[in-house]
Amino acid sequence: MSNKAFAAERKKPRPLKSDVRQLEVAMSFTEEELIKIRKATSGWFKKSARTAIAHSLLALKPKIDSAKKLDETERQAAFKKLMNEATAARQHALQSGANSYGHPQWAAAAACESWLHELVGGTPGSIARVEALIEGLSRN
């Protein structure tokens, strides 16, 4: 067998067994951002950031729950209004000197904004994964 044939044979993906569930391979941008925030705010010295994130997310949750009960047009408008507020808060944090994922004010606003972006444009699977991350960040 030549090197080219061997390389071509080696690159073929093996089929999954029928009892193995396939997951969505691509992670959404917002999911990646939330993971970066979680990593940057872990550890002994980031308690204030985790607290700020948890407070912001817990304050946003009832608003999101209310919006989810609306019809599609009103729900999207409500999510976009909340998203604009979160974007403004994130931009204010940047103007105030935030310069990393671990900055409390920026991380809190960015987590809220990411959640809302996923609700507006995500798939059911990506929304579920993002909401699991949000639940973890909300626990402080």
The pLDDT tens digits for 30-88 are 999 999 999 999 988 999 999 999 999 999 999 999 999 999 999 999 999 999 999 99
Q: In this predicted structure, what is the pLDDT of residue 24?
A: 47
Identify whether the C-beta of residue 33 lies closer than 8 Å to the C-beta of residue 118.
no
- CB neighbourhood size of 97 (10 A): 9
pLDDT at residue 16 is higher than 70: no
Q: Which residue has the higher pLDDT, 17 or 109?
A: 109
Q: Model's pTM, two decimal places?
A: 0.79
Q: What is the DSSP letter of 27?
A: P
Average confidence (pLDDT) over 91-120: 95
Which residue type is seen at 104? Answer: P
**Residue 6 binned pLDDT confidence (cut-offs 50, 70, 90):** very low
Measure the CA–CA gap between 75 and 121, rounded to whole angstroms.
12
d(CA 129, CA 32): 11
Helix axes 47-68, 72-95, angle to 10 degrees: 160
Confidence of residue 26 (pLDDT cuts 50, 70, 90): low
- The amino acid occupying position 125 is G
